[in-house]
Structure 1
Amino acid sequence: LTGHPVSLRLNRTQDITMTGKRHPFFATWEAGFDAGKRLCALRATLTSNGGWSLDLSEPVLARALCHIDNAYWIPDIEVHGRVAKTNRQSNTAFRGFGGPQGMIVIEDILGRCAPALGVEPHELRRRNFYRPGQATPYGQPVRHAERLAAIWSLCAERSDFDRRQAAVAAFNAAHQDTKRGLAITPVKFGISFNLTAFNQAGALVHVYKDGSVLINHGGTEMGQGLHTKMIQVAATALGVPMAAVRLAPTRTDKVPNTSATAASAGADLNGGAVKNACDQIRERLAIVAAGRLGVPAEDVRFAGGMVTGLGAGDQRIAWPELVHDAYMRRVQLWAAGFYRTEGLHWDAERMQGEPFKYFAYGAAAAEVEVDGFTGAYRLRRADIVHDVGDSLSPLVDLGQIEGGFVQGVGWLTLEELLWDETDGPNRGRLNTQAASTYKIPSFSEMPEEFNVHLFERATESGVVYGSKAVGEPPLMEAFSVREALRQAVGAFGPAGWSVTLASPATPEAVYWAVRAARDAAPSEQPVPAYVGA
């Protein structure tokens, strides 16, 4: 009204009520299996709740459709997606950008169908993994598909899955009102922005004549360790100690036209741009060093703050000395870097192409214990094996994997949005408006034993120092917890009982599933020939 800037500060209740959430999805499906318990076909329809405006609903849905296969080869597939307009806040992007909503469909299908098919859920999953040479439903070859089986086997080995499965069965036989469940699930998650144009980044790197380095890049640090990784990239590329590198705040007057720090691509894109700028500077400095060392420029090496040459004997030049020498020779000591992800193409009309640079793989095994009287559960142990390529920063990546997994546990088992459905003036209002009513994970939901292992010998070609993205994929490793809850609930019912589990599988939802399992008679078992949504 005044034409002047306004400061608006929402309290937590207002913020939770007004702001967009992850899109809720509703899925219907039919699945077919052959005699070897392999998926033959899937027909599904995914409907997302977009809220009152479209916002990012279309690309979120597109990504959900591209991830409905997760880690499984489905030779005959027909999947439809649609966005429903509703009288709620406008839903939007959240960690995984629709991928988790698509992947949970196939995991739910396999978890529900395994008892009807007379096979253990982990065996049904293993039999249907992608194999080398196969492609996704949208036509992208699944590169390094062999890593799925390798990561799965390593996770089963490190979690002692077979022995513990027998121990869980013995525990369940001895306890009537408390049951345990153990499950293992895989992850295959595509990395890149849906919109190809977003897969680019810039950087500006200054080397000062005293040898210090200042880097600017277009990524936003939000606690995920991006700045740490960028300093490491610059230090590695220039061969200097990390202490010599400083980082300036992200500003669009320094690095323009930045893409969002999203899609798990912050380190891939900005790291590529920082390395490109550093490589330019290093090539100029190599020419100066070559003249002093008496070797070709391609034989100059930068490491540990010293510059040496192949065949130059014991000659060494300190980094600050070389930089000062280059300055005196009027050599440019700054560079603008640029990176674009190569090999991407996507036909949005046909939903065909190669929208992802690569796939991140992982597997998680989780064990839970469920109280049959309340539905409350304990997460007794979680074991994760995750593929981050050649990690830029193992400690940062471990933190991202642990945090993503726990956040996924919250999404799948705790965080439930409830609206007032009574007749009256408050009808349609959000009831879960605060941390007191909207339960997020705390230390009590952490696994009592938590083991994370980075998959080794996992170099990824065409990316910065062979690394892989780590932001979003670990969230989906929490499917193992939901599937372990399904196993525990099934132990309350007759043998082979196929459990239908709500999502989120809150203690209340688990309680009602336990009631259904306990009340079931053996004659109520689903018919193996057909299992529908």
Structure 2
Amino acid sequence: MRNLKAKGSPASQVAGTTGVARVHESATKHVSGTAIYVDDMLEPRGTLYGAVGYSSIAKGRITGMDLSAVRQSEGVVDILVVEDIPGVTDIGAVFGGDPILTSEEIKYQGQPIFVVVAETEQQARRAVKQAKIEFVEDVPTLDVIEALTAQQFVRPSHFMSHGDAQAALAKAPKRLQAEQHVGGQEHFYLEGQVALVVPAEDGGMLVYSSTQHPSEVQKLVAEVLSVPANRITVDMRRMGGGFGGKESQAAGWACMAAALVLKTGKPVKLRLPRVDDMTMTGKRHPFYNTYDIGFDEQGLIQGADIMVAGNCGHSADLSDAIVDRAMFHADNAYYLADVSIAGHRCRTNTVSHTAFRGFGGPQGMMIIERAMDDIARAVGKDPLDVRKLNLYSAGGRDTTPYHQTVEHNVLLELIEQLEQNSDYRARRAEITQWNKTSRVLQRGLALTPVKFGISFTLQHLNQAGALIHIYTDGSIQVNHGGTEMGQGLHTKIIQIVAEALAIDPHEIQITATRTDKVPNTSPTAASSGTDLNGQAARNAALTLKQRIAECVAEHKACGRDSVRFADGRIYWGDQGESMSFADGALFAYENRVSLSATGYYKTPKIWYDREQAKGRPFFYFANGAAVSEVVVDTLTGEYKVLAVDILHDVGRSLNPALDCGQIEGGFIQGMGWLTTEELKWNDKGVLLSNGPATYKIPAISDTPKRFKVDLFARANEEDTVYHSKAVGEPPFMLAISVWSALRDAISSLSNYQVSPPLDTPATPERVLNAMMATREQAAEQKGKGR
């Protein structure tokens, strides 16, 4: 059930512009199967097909390699090894440590060693299995605690503090310590990693890549081939999902294909089968977190010492920023007056973990949300009351651990609105009573909030460009630096430009993201796709609007202020004379006015001094809250999510339908991360959960029967595009309410006296173990007379 009203929007809207529910620009193509993804493109004559040979061990060295049988396989044209690379061989996104291919050291199972190219995809995949590679195997480091103890880090640790945590802890009336393991997550995008590279003149190449970061693919392909970036053009029309998995880790496959193009002179396509994709690409970082928290008899936090340790895999990739963001969100929605936070980047022998929706924020939030439940059990209060007591608020309780002031805070109002609309208190009373008489099934309820900072933590990424052409028939072509992966970015950009020019959105066509149209783009990530590219496109549109208005004012002998755009027409003068927008475009052209403009935008106000661990890393915060109700079978540990109520803050919604879709999808994906999606490596570091048979994402049957989403009625007070707020990542963390509700149901076995241990994913096995531990602890407390 959705409430699609943009409550904070003006009462009247121009049909089809911002603030209204407009269908996704590719929706019809998606459902009819006519949307063109990289693998659907018509391939040039003579296209060859690649397959990657990778390591079967997690740590060791290559001592021998015989590829003669590969070369002799049917259809094989050539083989690529690291010695064939003419340029750089380390394609690490930010820091080194990610060789495109290896010939010696092995750091993880799935590390690429060679690439074979053949006349058909099937021939390539068959040939790659003929390789004979000898290894000397070493014992891999797979445990994050082992890596933490040995201080095996991919990047130096980072620390932030506010006040004096140790002094506050020493004086606190009550104190708790806990540790927590938070599992990783496979991206499981519908479209796997794929690239098609076509040779061009002057040593150039046209690269079709399923990537969230075309400019990075362009840069790395150029470096691998040792050519200037201007010889490489990257084209990306749409992805079948990305979720962060194609931010940095799409580049390697494009680089391999490009190197094979250079070697063979033929177009090359490289598409990873699902098993290879899951084996060779990074996941959401698993985390090991701890807290030491002091609080008073009411549950108000006095001091906190928090540690987050990310399992980064074998290399840095984007882990430095990801662990930073986990630290930035270890407070979530709560004021911690005296706090210290440590963040460690642990090196293990797995694939290098990478960006995933939330970018470390969800893993950081988990530890403080555990603390809220634990404190509530310790003081005998409803966890919601403890959460509300510790929220950020005005009057000196509004500074984060990184010293940013929480402005325009709506959290308490939002939570209390959801509390009332979801009938939380009556449901809590009913569930508590029901649990007393139910012998097998126990129900749980939780309301958890989200405060999520919006901006890239790497400051220079907070910029975007756009290019708009108006043609003489009034039709418009827009290009911008963002990438479409199903989230509706292009649709929102169309609405933004349509509103700026007061025209019908049907007159606007968005073309594929291309590095030869808008250069030096940032990745579509950090929930900033619309914030950045929408503002850039709007600025370009306003430039063109200004040019046309000045032309009309000059040639119609009227004041510039009398020229206005409305309902697809241009009006001028006191008599209300007008012409269509299309006639206005032709009129401007005939009077030698440029109808092409670039737009640019950079996020204001943000800064962060990493040495001091102080600053304003985020332009603003997006907020939300969710109430989840679950039922648990105490005999088996199986459970079901019965009902979910969400109230989420998207500012002035640009498109309520798309925003609700993102909220629903983000929540379900987050629920999967916390419940069913379990990554499993064996003791030799071989990934066992490498396909849909061994890795369970949520199915439609897992969707709660009651699933109610409302948008919070408040425009963004910061000057974002039409005062909207980002919506891609924040809803993901609303699913923490499901995990908290499971803990609530388990705690009912102790009459809510015990706060159960429950690592994630909270599979039925873990839930069953948590129930046994809770009963045991409750019996111990009863025996001691507590």
- TM superposition score category, shorter chain reference: over 0.9
User: 1:434 is aligned with what amino acid?
Assistant: G
Closer, same or farther: CA 495–82 of 1 in aligned 2, 3 Å: closer
Deviation at 1:335, TM superposition (A): 0.5
For normalisation by structure 2, the TM-score amounts to 0.64
1:203 paired residue number: 466
Alignment partners' CA distance in 2, 1:457 and 1:312? 37
Do the aligned residues in 2 keep the contact of 1:294 with 1:312 (CA within 8 Å)? Answer: no
CA contact (8 A) 1:132 1:144 kept: no
Residue 293 of structure 1 contacts residue 308 of structure 1 at CA under 8 Å; is this kept in 2? no
Q: 1:408 aligns with which of 634, 650, 670?
A: 670
| Aligned residue runs from structure 1 range 503-514, under 5 A | 503-514=760-771
Distance, in Å, in 2 between the alignment partners of 1:519 and 1:346 is 47
Query: After the TM superposition, which residues 130-149 of structure 1 pair with which residues of structure 2 at under 5 Å, given as runs?
Result: 130-132=392-394, 134-145=398-409, 147-149=410-412
Give 1:429's match in structure 2, choosing from 686, 698, 720. 686
**1:487 to 2:727 alignment:** no
Match of 1:330 in 2: 592
Shift of residue 223 of structure 1? 0.4
Measured at CA, do residues 514 and 286 of structure 1 come closer, stay the same or move farther in structure 2, by a change above 3 Å? same
Matched to 1:83, the amino acid is: R
C-alpha deviation, 1:79, in angstroms: 0.9
Alignment equivalent of 2:442, drawn from 179, 202, 221: 179
Q: In the alignment, what sits opposite 1:63?
A: 325
Q: Secondary structure at the match of 1:169?
A: helix
Residue of 294, 311, 319 corresponding to 1:49: 311
- Report the residue type matching 2:636 in the other structure: T
**Which has the higher Rg, Structure 1 or Structure 2?**
2
CA distance in structure 1 between the partners assigned to 2:678 and 2:460 by the alignment: 35
Deviation at 1:313, TM superposition (A): 4.1
**Is 1:218–2:459 an aligned residue pair?**
no
Deviations 1:10-41 (A, max 9, x none): 32122212211111111121001123321111
> Shift of the alpha carbon at 1:301?
2.3
Moved more, 510-519 or 443-452: 510-519
Q: How well do the aligned residues superpose, as a CA RMSD in angstroms? A: 1.8
SS at match of 1:366: strand
Aligned residues: 521
Residue number among 354, 357, 363 corresponding to 1:95 in the alignment: 357
User: CA separation in 1, counterparts of 2:555 and 2:770?
Assistant: 76
Deviations 1:330-388, CA, capped at 9 Å, x for gaps: 11111111010011111122221101110000000000011111111111110111111
8 A contact 1:498–1:525 mirrored in 2:
no
Contact 1:492 1:514 in 2 (8 A): yes
Letter in 2 for 1:159: S
Confirm or deny: 8 A CA contact 1:494 1:517 kept in the other structure: no
Cα shift readout 1:369-416 (whole Å, capped 9, x = no counterpart): 111111111111101111111111111111000000000000111111
* Offset of residue 43 of structure 1: 0.3
**Which has the higher mean CA deviation after the structures are superposed, 194-203 or 110-119?**
110-119
SS at match of 2:695: coil
Q: Is the 8 A contact 1:21 1:93 kept in 2?
A: yes
Deviation at 1:499, TM superposition (A): 1.2
Letter in 2 for 1:70: N
**Is this contact kept in 2: 1:203–1:218, CA < 8 A?**
yes
The answer (yes or no) to whether the contact 2:462–2:532 under 8 Å persists in 1 is yes
The within-5 A match list for 1:16-31 is 16-31=278-293
SS in 2 for 1:43: strand
TM-score w.r.t. structure 1 length? 0.94
Of residues 348-357 and 475-484 in structure 1, the stretch that sits farther from structure 2 once superposed is: 348-357
Matched, 1:126 2:383: no
Q: CA deviation at 1:508?
A: 1.2
Distance 2:422 2:615 in 1: 37
Structure 1 residue 326: Cα displacement? 1.2
* Mapping of residues 369-388 of structure 1, within 5 Å: 369-388=631-650
Would the alpha carbon gap of residues 403 and 495 (structure 1) be closer, same or farther in structure 2, given more than 3 Å must change?
closer
Residue 522 of structure 1 and its aligned partner are, at CA, apart by 4.7
SS, match of residue 521 in structure 1: helix
The aligned residue for residue 518 of structure 1 is 775
In 1, the alpha carbon distance for the partners of 2:273 and 2:717 equals 44
Q: Does 1:253 align with 2:516?
A: yes
| Deviation, structure 1 residue 526 | 12
SS of alignment partner, residue 598 of structure 2: strand
Instruction: Report the residue type matching 2:281 in the other structure.
Output: T
Code of the residue aligned with 1:136 in structure 2: it is T
Secondary structure of 2:452's counterpart equals: strand
Q: Contact 1:212 / 1:245 at 8 angstroms: preserved in 2?
A: yes
**Which ranges in structure 2 are unaligned for 5 or more consecutive residues?**
1-79, 85-258, 262-267
2:710 is equivalent to residue 448 of structure 1: no
Residues 398, 452 of structure 1: 8 Å contact kept: yes
Residues 1:379 and 1:293: Cα distance change in structure 2 (over 3 Å): farther
Deviates more, 1:246-255 or 1:41-50: 41-50
TM alignment of 1:267-278, pairs within 5 A:
267-278=530-541
Deviates more, 1:200-209 or 1:15-24: 15-24
Equivalent pair of 1:493/1:519 in contact (CA under 8 Å): no
How far apart are residue 112 of structure 1 and its match? 1.7
Q: CA deviation at 1:199?
A: 0.4
Matched residues in 1 for 2:436 and 2:559: separation? 74
Instruction: List runs of 5+ in structure 1 lacking aligned partners.
Output: 422-426
- Separation in 1, partners of 2:505, 2:440: 56
Q: How does 1:252-401 map to 2 (within 5 A)?
A: 252-291=515-554, 295-309=558-572, 312-401=574-663
The secondary structure found in structure 2 opposite 1:264 is coil
Following the alignment from structure 1 to structure 2, what is the Cα–Cα distance between the partners of residues 135 and 308?
Answer: 49
AA in 1 matched with 2:578: R
Aligned twin of 2:294: 32
The answer to whether the 8 Å contact 2:297/2:379 transfers is no
Aligned-residue identity in percent: 47
